[in-house]
């Protein structure tokens, strides 16, 4: 009997706004200074949301979103703000522990 494994895809498990907010919060905490980690997390959220819809909501091209929100991407802060707003997320600041 062989075991069949499937590659984990976070986007498949982000079904509610609460799921998305908790996931992104955990990713921000885990990422530290790793911008690629944060970009990839936003990419996972964007795929769960629908990349075409996100492109329409942000006014950015779908292909450029895929590129910017990947591990290799280096999204501008402006892109991050547009994406988070379009996804219904807010970035907040708190004092570091």
pLDDT greater than 90 at residue 6: no
Token couple for 23: 């996931």
What one-character-per-residue DSSP string does 31-97 give? HTT-HHHHHHHHHHHHHHH-HHHHHHHHT--HHHHHHHTSTT----HHHHHHHHHHTT---------
Kindly report, residue by residue over 8-58, the tens digit of the pLDDT.
888 899 999 999 999 999 999 999 889 889 999 999 999 999 999 999 999
Task: Give domain status of residue 97, yes or no.
Answer: no
Task: Give domain status of residue 4, yes or no.
Answer: no
Rg of the chain, C-alpha, whole Å: 14
Q: Which domain holds residue 49?
A: 15-86
Task: Give domain status of residue 21, yes or no.
Answer: yes
Looking at the structure of the chain, the number of domains it has is 1
Q: What's residue 93's pLDDT?
A: 84
Residue 40's CB is within 10 A of a number of other CB atoms, namely 19
């Amino acid at each position: 009997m062989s075991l069949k494994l499937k590659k984990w895809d976070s986007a498949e498990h982000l079904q509610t706004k609460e799921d998305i907010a908790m996931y992104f919060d955990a990713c921000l905490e885990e990422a530290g200074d790793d911008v690629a980690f944060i970009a990839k997390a936003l990419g996972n959220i964007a795929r769960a949301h629908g990349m075409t819809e996100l492109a329409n909501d942000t006014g950015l091209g779908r292909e450029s979103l895929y590129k910017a929100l990947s591990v290799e991407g280096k999204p501008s802060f402006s892109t991050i703000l547009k994406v988070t707003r379009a996804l219904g997320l807010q970035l907040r600041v708190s004092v570091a522990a």
